[in-house]
Amino acid sequence: MKPQLIAAAELDRLETWQKYSAHMCGGCVSSCCTLPVEVKIKDLIRIGIVDEFERGDPPKNIAKRLQ
């Protein structure tokens, strides 16, 4: 039996979210790309978005550059 899809996901209710699958990113089918996230500087360095020499910069400056 297929799970029943809920037309609109509510950000505060996880049970309304649809499980991720790659085809969802082909068009705007999900809200995932608009959700806020929390990261640490070491995560940004590890994935190559921020360089090691930026570690001492204020977080506000790094966030402005990444927008």
pLDDT, greater one: 66 or 12: 66
- At 20, the amino acid letter reads Y
Structure confidence at residue 18 (pLDDT):
74
Q: Is the pLDDT of residue 59 over 80?
A: yes
Provide the 8-state DSSP code for 19: P
Q: What is the pLDDT of residues 15-58, one digit of tens each?
A: 877 777 777 777 666 666 677 778 899 999 998 999 999 999 99
- Could you count the other beta carbons within 10 Å of the beta carbon of residue 53? 8
Report if pTM > 0.75: no
Structure confidence at residue 52 (pLDDT):
92
- Residues near 33 by Cβ (< 8 Å), separated by ≥ 6? 25
